[in-house]
């Protein structure tokens, strides 16, 4: 994946080159933000739900975010991981994500429980 990121940054305005179905220009726009720094500025409670098989936001991104929150003594961010789920909270077993593998209701219930406490 690192090689793909390097190529995107070499061609940040390309609309004829694609990564995971999106033009490089779109992908490069995400590199302009530093989510960890944004999270460090926020003092309100935040809920982050992340599937461990997410191919759009690698698990290492969440690990890094969590490490930065700990290093900066931030306790307002709750990170909940969902084992085996992808970016849409589906099981990767069935890429078409029928109702039987769709877990967004579970994620929403967890969020609503968290919201009641925060």
Residue 107 pLDDT > 70: yes
Give the E-state strand segments of 1-118 in sequence order.
18-19, 22-23, 46-51, 77-82
Residue 28 pLDDT > 80: yes
The alpha carbon dihedral of 4, 31, 91, 94 has a sign of: negative
Instruction: Report the b/e string of 4-38 with b at 16+ CB within 10 A.
Output: eeeebeeeeebeeeebeeebbeebbeeeeeeebee
- Asked if residue 40 is part of any domain, the answer here is no
The Cα 54–Cα 31 span in angstroms is: 18
- Asked if residue 38 is part of any domain, the answer here is no
Highest mean pLDDT of the ranges 73-82, 83-92, 100-109: 73-82
Q: Which domain holds residue 26?
A: 1-32
- Claim to verify: residue 18 and residue 70 sit in the same structural domain: no
Residue 95 pLDDT > 70: no
Structure tokens at 110: 């967890």
């Amino acid at each position: 994946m690192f090689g793909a990121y390097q190529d995107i940054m070499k061609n940040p305005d390309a609309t004829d080159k694609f990564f995971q179905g999106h033009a490089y220009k779109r992908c490069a726009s995400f590199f302009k933000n530093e989510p960890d720094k944004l999270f460090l500025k926020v003092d309100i409670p935040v809920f982050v739900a992340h599937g461990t098989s997410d191919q759009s936001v690698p698990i290492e991104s969440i690990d890094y975010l969590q490490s930065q929150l700990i290093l900066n003594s931030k306790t307002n961010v709750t990170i909940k991981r969902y084992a085996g789920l992808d970016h849409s909270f589906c099981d990767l077993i069935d890429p078409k994500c029928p109702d039987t593998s769709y877990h967004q209701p579970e994620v929403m219930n967890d969020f609503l429980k968290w919201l009641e406490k925060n």
